Structure 1
Amino acid sequence: MKIGIGLPNQVRGTRPTVIPAWASRAEQAGFSTLGTVGRVAYPGVMDTVALAAAAATTTSIGLLSGIMLGPVWPPVLLATETAAIDAVSGGRLTLGMGVGVRPDDFVVDGLGMAARGRRFDQDLDVYRDVWRGEPVGGGPNPAVPPEAREIPLLFGGAVPASFERVARRGAGYIGGSVPAPMVAPAFDAVRAAWATAGREGSPHLVALAYFALGDTEQGHANVWDYYQSTGDEVARLITDGMASGPGRVKDAVAAFADIGADELILNPAVGDPDEIDRLADIVL
Structure 2
Amino acid sequence: MFLNKIPTRQSKFKFERVPGISHIGDENIVVGETEAYPEVGVTEDWIDTPETRKRGMVARATREVIFFDQTGQYLDRLGRIGEWLGVNDEKRAIAAVVDAGESTTYGQYQYRWRNYGPVNTYGLNSGFHSWTNLQSGNSLVTYANVQAAWQLLVQILDPYTGEPQNVTMKHICVPPALAFAVPFALKGMVKRTAPGYATSGNPVSTEINNPTGDIIGNLEILSTQLFRSISGSDTSWFVGDISASFEQIENWPLTVTTLGGQSQMDFDFDVMFQTKVSKRSTFTTVQPRKMVKCTP
TM-score (norm 2): 0.27
Q: Return the structure number with greater strand share.
A: 2
The alignment's TM-score, normalised by the length of structure 1, stands at: 0.28
* Relative contact order higher in (CA < 8 Å, ≥ 6 apart): 2
Higher-Rg member (1/2): 2
